[in-house]
């Protein structure tokens, strides 16, 4: 259902940045590729690689009697050797990309949303091993120190990047590090956090603080010339609303055409599939969407997609 909803919203290819536990995205990807269900092409990360107790440790908040001691086979690593093994295990399981959580998170049942959660040796082990296998690797982060460590270690992209500062923006610009702002997720959790019953209090406090900051960080990073790549964190908010991100990016100062390229040409090059996707050219897959009106004049038109073709097959008209 969610795959079909995303496809009909105009997204013919997506990067899935993390399962909760059991690599469901791999099975979904395979089912779509086999033509068993409608959906976008999925480049899947599988389980998020996290540290014990960090964002991505899905046993946070469980009673002690329910925890059998999750480890690298479950997605948690501590130390360079386990970090390398986790990437190799992901490769074995069929990951297209790698996702790690280098700082605390907003929606995890843990107090800190900013503390770094990998040291330099662990990061180098993870990132170098991913690159050995030809896998792009992205880092979930909010706090500046974890972000700085990941960028210096050679991470390919930064998700959220809430408290990125000007100095780090300059480093990212020089290294060509991609920034995925996920403005939709920030707005959604902030709006939901206005309702006391929406999240546990330990989560709600983080959402109220971090949500509003994302838009400002995006505007500053764009002005600084950081390479921007479209991403929404859909699942935090309802699937199918992904195109709202275009509107938020334009509100942050980006031109409509740049926003569109950030969702097409930029990620195609990032995923090394720009020979097949990312633009409409002879020899590439026939992925075409259409809207009524001019999205360059009104970017919200992309929230009203009326035609979707993926690989020459029409899914919506």
Q: Which domains are assigned to the chain?
A: 2-316 (3.20.20.140)
- Kindly tell me the burial class for residue 201, based on how many C-beta atoms sit within 10 Å of its own C-beta (0-12, 13-18, 19 or more): exposed
199 and 207 Cβ atoms separated by less than 8 Å: yes
3-class DSSP assignment, residue 69 = coil
Give, for all 317 residues of the chain, the pLDDT tens digit. Answer: 899 999 999 999 999 998 876 789 999 999 999 999 999 999 999 999 998 777 666 665 555 545 555 555 558 899 999 999 999 999 999 999 999 999 866 665 556 557 889 999 999 999 999 999 999 999 999 889 999 999 999 999 999 999 999 999 999 999 999 999 999 998 888 888 888 887 777 778 777 777 778 999 999 999 999 999 999 999 889 999 999 999 999 999 999 999 999 999 999 999 999 999 999 999 999 999 999 999 999 999 999 999 999 999 999 99
What is the DSSP secondary structure assignment for residue 193, as one 8-state letter?
T
Q: What is the pTM of this model?
A: 0.91
Give the Cα separation of 150 and 106 in Å (integer).
19
Backbone angles phi, psi at 18, to 5 degrees: 140, 125
């Amino acid at each position: 259902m969610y795959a079909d909803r995303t496809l009909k919203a105009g997204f013919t290819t997506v990067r899935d940045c993390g399962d909760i536990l059991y690599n469901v995205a791999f099975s979904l990807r395979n089912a779509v590729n086999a033509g068993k269900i409608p959906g976008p092409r999925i480049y899947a990360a599988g389980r998020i690689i996290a540290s014990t107790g960090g964002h991505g440790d899905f046993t946070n908040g469980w009673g002690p009697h329910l925890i059998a001691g999750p480890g690298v086979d479950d997605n948690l690593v501590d130390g360079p050797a386990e970090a390398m093994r986790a990437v190799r295990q992901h490769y074995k399981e069929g990951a297209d990309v790698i996702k790690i959580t280098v700082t605390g998170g907003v929606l995890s049942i843990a107090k800190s949303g900013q503390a770094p959660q990998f040291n330099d040796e662990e990061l180098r082990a993870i990132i170098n091993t991913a690159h050995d296998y030809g896998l792009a690797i992205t880092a979930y982060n909010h706090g500046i120190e974890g972000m700085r460590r990941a960028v210096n270690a050679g991470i390919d992209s930064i998700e959220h990047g809430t408290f990125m500062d000007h100095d780090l923006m300059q480093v990212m610009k020089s290294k060509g590090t991609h920034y995925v702002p996920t403005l939709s997720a920030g707005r959604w959790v902030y709006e939901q956090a206005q309702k006391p019953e929406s999240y546990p209090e330990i989560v709600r406090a983080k959402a109220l603080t971090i949500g509003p900051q994302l838009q400002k960080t995006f505007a500053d990073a764009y002005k600084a010339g950081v390479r921007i790549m479209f991403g929404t964190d859909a699942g935090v908010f309802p699937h199918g609303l992904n195109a709202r991100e275009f509107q938020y990016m334009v509100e942050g100062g980006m031109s409509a055409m740049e926003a569109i390229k950030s969702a097409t040409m930029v990620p195609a090059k990032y995923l090394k599939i720009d020979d097949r996707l990312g633009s409409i050219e002879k020899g590439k897959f026939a992925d075409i969407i259409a809207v009524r009106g001019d999205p360059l004049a009104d970017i919200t038109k992309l929230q009203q997609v009326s035609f979707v073709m993926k690989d020459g097959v029409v899914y919506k008209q």
